[in-house]
Every structure is written in C-alpha cells, then in structure tokens.
Structure 1
Amino acid sequence: MINRRQLLATVPPLLGGCAALPPVPPEGLAAGEQRPWRLGGERMWVWLPPDYTRRAERWPLVVFLHGSGERGTELDKVKVHGPPMWVARGTAYPCLLVSPQLEEGARWEPERLHRLLGALQSHLHADRRRCVATGLSLGGHGVWNWASAHPGDLAAIAPVCGYGDPAAVAAMRGVPVRAYHGAVDPVVPLARQQACVDALLAAGGRATLTIYPGVGHDAWTPAYQDPDLMPWLLAQHRT
C-alpha cells in the first residue's frame, strides 16, 4: 500500500500542472503544536499552524532569537519570553515559528543563522520571500548582525533591546526594521540601537524605533504585546 509521503513524491509526474497537495509535517512535528525538534545539530522549538496540513500555499517563517539568560541545554528556557511563550499560552500564530537555543556562552553568529535558515527552508513549507527574524537583547543583537551580513535572507527584522554595527547596516537598507527599546536600559543603552536606526535611515533604509519611557532592559514584555508587531512582520515580503 502506498503511504502519503510516497504519494506526494509522485505528484509532479502524475498531476502535472494541477495544484500541489498540502505538505506533510517533518517527523517529530505536528500541525497546531509547538514541539522540540533537532535539525543539523541545532535544537529548537517549532510551531506549525493548525492549517499546515490543509493548505498547499507556503507559510511565512518567523525565527525568534532568545537572550543570554536562555542559553544552555534546557530547551524550556526558550519559552520564557517572546513568541514561543505566547504560543505556549495558547496563541496560534498564522506562520511557522522557529525558536532555536544557543549553547552556554555562545552568541548568535550570522553564518550559523544563514545555514539554519537554509536548512529550515529545505525541511519546512516556508515562503522564502517571507522569512523574518526577531530577538531580544543578545537575540536583538543577533538579528541586526544577521541582516547586515546576509540581507538577502530576511524580509524584515524586529530587534528588541538589541544593537548592531552602525557602520555595517547600510548593506541591509532593503530590510525594513521595527525596533523596540527601554528608555533607561542599563544593560544595552538606548543610544546603541538608536545609532543603528539612524545609520539605516541615512543609508536610505526603512526603520522605526519604539521607545518605552521609564522602562529598563525588559523592553520585551511590552514589545511582544504590541498588537501590530506580528501582523507587520507577516506582511513583509523580500523583493
């Protein structure tokens, strides 16, 4: 008896120009659930929307990068803030959400993230034109550096209490930015992210910076409750 995976493999020769069938989740993942997953040595949480197996269209992909406090081997720590936390609480985002974890002491390196994105695009039913990234603190620094080093990877970024290299952001002027920061952040001073936003605007890019008066380093609590953030990310397309 032919199973569904074998049937999908026969679709091109059998159906020719007919519409593609909905995808089958990779082993270990399920539609409508956020599950732990390993891919190419990377450990992560992956959320697949409930309609993943019911529609053939490709999905936008959101990559979330955690902060320094969530590094290590306990994957549950990745769900303490941001989008993976909201999924754990019942939010059903209409996108693929991937939340990898760093080893203790590691940092988000652009080349590693570039390779991870390529692997995700090969295994998940992702729209390559609608891959975006967001991250907080160390993760906010990671998304700035990723977009600067590989601007063709991402349709947009949303760094929270992060920073990058103002001298490098001109390379990502085609990547729109929606940034967030606490006005009195003692860990990553507001001026560091403001300098990146200013440099990007000066280079002809698009960027906004939401500043929370009286807020310190924890800009992620209000940022990830911004009702416009996720719709904005999911509306972006890489040209």
Structure 2
Amino acid sequence: MNRFTRLIALGLLLSGARSFAETPPAEPVSSEPSLERISYVSKVDNKERDFFVYLPRNYKTEPEKKWPVILFLHGNGERGNGKEDLDYVLIHGPLYEAWIQKKDLPFIIISPQLHMFGMDKRGISYIDNRSRTQIPERLDEGTPPRSPYFATPKPMTGVPSHIDMSLIPPLLPGGWDKVDGDLMHIVNAVQHDFRADKSRLYLTGMSYGGFGTWWLASQHPTLFAAIAPVVGWGHPSYIAPIAKHQIPLWQFAGGRDHTVPIQYFYPGLNRLEQLGHAHVRFTTHEDMGHDAWRRVYKSDDFYQWLLEQRR
C-alpha cells in the first residue's frame, strides 16, 4: 500500500469514527402507566368482585425493580358492588392523582371497593344521588379540571380535645373492618403476582377509609411500613399495637370538618404518645373542611414521606 492509499484509508477510518461518535444515544425504553382490574371472590358473600391495580410508569420496562405499594381505602360515598360500581373509586385519592391527573407516582396502587352493607338503603344523599357522570375519565391529552373544594362558610376556630371516648363507638357501621379477610387476600395476591417491595407497603384512606386505616393497622401491625389516615380518627381502645410496633404515622384533619370533628382526633394521638410512639405526625388543614383529602393526596410531600419509610 503506497503513501497515497494509506492516507485515503486513514481518512475513511477517521470519518467512520466521527460518524459513530456523532450518532445520538438510543432513547431509554420506557412504558406508560396502566390500570388493571383484578377479580377475586369475596369472603363476605362468596361473590366475585374486582379491585384496581395501578402500575406506574416504567413498571413493564424495568423487570428487575421491585416497587413500593399503596393500599388505598376510599370513603363512604364510593362503595359499591365491585363490578360496574368499581369506577367510583377513581373519584378521589392516590388513584385519582396517578391515573386521572397523571401525577407520576412511583407506586403500585391497590384500590378495592367496600361493599354497600345496606348503605344504599339508609337515605344517604351522596350515595342515593350519585351518578356515573361524577366518575372522572383519563384524557388522551391533558387532564380534566379538578373539582372545587367544599365551601367553608364558618370561621376557623380551635377546639379543645374531646376527653371521654368511652361512649364513642370505636368503629363506623358497615366499615372496612368487615372486609379484613378480603383486604389481606388482595394484598397477598398483589405481592405474589406483581413486583412489589414487601418492605414498603403503605396504608392510607380517607374518611371511612381513614377509620379503616387505623383499624387495619391495629390488626396487622407488622405488615405496613407507614400509615396515613386522612380525615378519620383512631379510637384509643385499639391503637396500642400501632405504638408497640412503632408504625410511622401521619394523621390529617380538616379544621372546619363538621363531618368528622377535629376534637375526636386528639385522644387517640395523645394515647399513642403516652405509649411511647416516637413517629407520630399530625397535620390539621385549619382552612379546610372534610375534603382536606384533596390537598393531601395532591401534595408531593405526602408521597415523598411515604417513600422515606421502610419496614
């Protein structure tokens, strides 16, 4: 090979090297979030029901990763038959934020539906008058407008703690305690069938689901890495296991909440501290009513706090 040929070959080699170096790196493979309906047979009535499982962005393209899990318990107005009624659980909570508002939450979210337990025969207006037009839809582009907060016409006033809880029922009628077996089955199924991080199972619920959060944690205190009851208080009589196992807890209330008044939140929280619980937070949104859950579940701080907790 003469000198001229060698120069041509060297030029071609350098040209190829530059072309290779200038090739943009391949975009990382990613996957969109998805929402799945999973069927099970309820231990309550031996009937088939469904629950939602939300799979976060990149769940399908990161096969080695284990994901933290949120178990969400909805409020009284979203209960139903677990089939065509299941969509009502999309109205509020982490699933609404992740699926409808497209908040990029790095969690598997479990959202079951509580049975009616006769609530549709009690003349409860927000159940009797609900319609499927209230169920939000995930849009192909953008997100739907958020519903306005409840009106709070009364002034903000601090109130003293309720003292004697002995005459206050510890549980609500037809509550989440009645489906304890179903919930444990659902959690076990998700942990078995999906890539769930068992050390980061979080429990939260609003209103009826807030009461259910306290109850479920008291019955299974070694299961959850953290709990966050929202606008639902815990009765002092059954929260000792939560203190014993030092489950990190963040309680939320609305200062203008006339559905679940704030004075009933203090006895249980004070009892936790008396029992030596060192991981108790209590946030009162003084300017808000019963729907303080809207602000809580919209907040980035809430999800960041969950991610910091590990069993």
**TM-score, with structure 1 as normaliser:** 0.81
Q: How many Å apart are 1:167 and its aligned residue? A: 2.3
Deviations 1:9-54 (A, max 9, x none): xxxxxxxxxxxxxxxxxxxxx9611232223444211111122223
Q: Which of 186, 198, 222 is the aligned partner of 2:258?
A: 186
- Mapping 1:1-239, distance limit 5 Å: 32-41=33-42, 42-55=49-62, 56-73=64-81, 74-87=85-98, 88-105=100-117, 106-109=174-177, 110-173=180-243, 174-205=246-277, 206-238=279-311
Greater mean deviation of Cα atoms: 73-82 or 142-151: 73-82
Indicate how the Cα distance of structure 1 residues 134 and 120 shifts in structure 2: closer, same or farther if over 3 A, else same.
Answer: same
1:171-196: CA deviations, max 9, x gaps? 11221111110112211121222222
CA contact (8 A) 1:167 1:199 kept: no
Where does structure 1 lack aligned partners over 5 or more consecutive residues?
Answer: 1-29
- SS of the counterpart of 1:199? helix
1:94-117 Cα offsets, whole Å, 9 max, x none, are 110111111113421244323322
Distance of 1:38 and 1:204 partners within structure 2: 41
Once the two structures are superposed, residues 186-232 of structure 1 have per-residue CA deviations (whole angstroms, 9 ceiling, x without a partner) of 11121222222221122122111111113221111111122210111
Amino acid at match of 2:268: C
Q: Quick check: which one's strand share is greater? A: 1
Instruction: Identify if the C-alpha distance between structure 1 residues 204 and 115 changes in structure 2 by more than 3 Å, giving closer, same or farther.
Output: farther
Q: Is the 8 A contact 1:148 1:172 kept in 2?
A: yes
Note closer, same or farther for the CA distance 1:189–1:111 as it changes in structure 2 (3 Å cut).
Answer: farther
Distance 1:200 1:115, change over 3 A: farther
Partner residue, 1:14: none
Mapped to 2, the partners of 1:92 and 1:38 lie a distance apart of: 26
SS in 2 for 1:218: helix
Cα distance in structure 2, aligned partners of 1:195 and 1:66: 24
Q: Which segments of 5 or more consecutive residues in structure 2 lack a partner in the other structure? A: 1-30, 43-48, 118-173
* Identity across matched positions, percent: 35
TM-score for the superposition, normalised by structure 2: 0.63
Q: For structure 1, which segment, 146-155 or 208-217, has the greater mean C-alpha deviation from structure 2 after superposition? A: 208-217
Task: Name the aligned partner's letter for residue 63 of structure 1.
Answer: L
Q: Deviations over 1:36-73 (max 9, x none)?
A: 22234442111111222232121111011100000013
Q: Is the Cα contact below 8 Å between 2:97 and 2:298 reproduced in 1?
A: no
Q: SS state of the match for residue 215, structure 1?
A: coil
Query: What is the CA–CA distance in structure 1 between the aligned matches of 2:36 and 2:214, rounded to whole Å?
Result: 27
